[in-house]
Amino acid sequence: MQQDGLPAEIDLSRPSAARVYDYFLGGAHNFEIDRQLAEQIASMTPNLAATMRSGREFLRRAVRALLDAGIDQFLDIGSGIPTVGNVHEVAQAANPKARIVYVDIDPVAVAHSRELLAGNDLTTVLHADLREPDRILAEARESGLIDFARPMGILLAGVVHFIPDADRPGDILATLRAAAAPGSFLVISHSTFEDQPQEMLDAQRLSARTDTEITLRSRAEISAFFGDWTILEPGVVHMPLWRPDSPSDVDEHPERFGAFGGVGRYDQPAG
């Protein structure tokens, strides 16, 4: 074991995307190496912390929409560290029986998540890579928290852009969609190069310093990840434009947050 009771195999000499994200959200589960990279990125893009918060706010709105549609079980892949306003807090505030399976590749995020969620029997945390969707699905089944015969919410907030084209993200998403029952929902937010100033693109390239480099994609590429599922209104849009709580929550330049968000529904096949 090393500092903070974390396993010795965890490499604290490299920044972690999950911990950098935690830092920008005001969390406490990050280290000096993460804060240094975060501050370097922030110096290039002063609104990046607001971008991170915008992503979290999109996720909260999407989870509430799924709850309103009757969804009570969630598979949150690429969950990072469950800081304030996370999925289980939002879901269980509305439905105390809601069940959540968190999945993340970062062992530090997983270790902290398990500590934070201790005593919550309706949540669990899996240490797995999105590039192994069959393993994720199998372990989610084994957890006993997800009933794949019933509709569920698959949440991929700010994670698919960590999968390069060489790893065939479209196939990964197809595997996840194929495991879902009709009535299920898919939530995606994904960084984009569209409508972005050069300084934002330069900051995104700093992600290469973490173990999880970002691949920026177009709206059309992101929309394709929903397959033949019905994309809900207002479509795949800049994150603040997806069903804002009030018009005042959308500023004049929603594109400045650098990511699209959307929600798809698996409708019952005809016949």
User: Cα 25 to chain center, whole Å?
Assistant: 14
pLDDT exceeds 50 at position 1? no
Question: Which residue reads 């050069």 in tokens?
Answer: 198
- Model confidence at 169, pLDDT cuts 50, 70, 90, reads very high
By CB atoms closer than 10 A (0-12, 13-18, 19+), residue 2 is exposed
Q: What is the mean pLDDT of residues 245-251?
A: 82
195, 192, 244: which is closest to 218 by C-alpha? 192
The string of pLDDT tens digits covering residues 104-149 is 988 878 887 888 888 899 999 999 999 999 999 999 999 999 999 9
Peptide linkage before 234 cis (omega within 30 of 0): yes
pLDDT exceeds 80 at position 230? yes
pLDDT exceeds 60 at position 46? no
pLDDT exceeds 90 at position 151? yes
What is the value of pTM for the model shown? 0.85
Q: What is the mean pLDDT of residues 227-233?
A: 98
The string of pLDDT tens digits covering residues 202-229 is 666 665 555 567 889 999 999 999 999 9
The string of pLDDT tens digits covering residues 8-22 is 556 677 787 777 777
- Please measure the distance between the N-terminal and C-terminal CA atoms of the chain and give it in whole angstroms: 57
The chain-wide mean pLDDT, for the chain, equals: 87
User: Cα 26 to chain center, whole Å?
Assistant: 17
pLDDT exceeds 60 at position 172? yes
Contact present, 213 and 162 (Cβ < 8 Å):
yes
The string of pLDDT tens digits covering residues 60-93 is 999 999 999 999 999 999 988 776 678 999 999 9
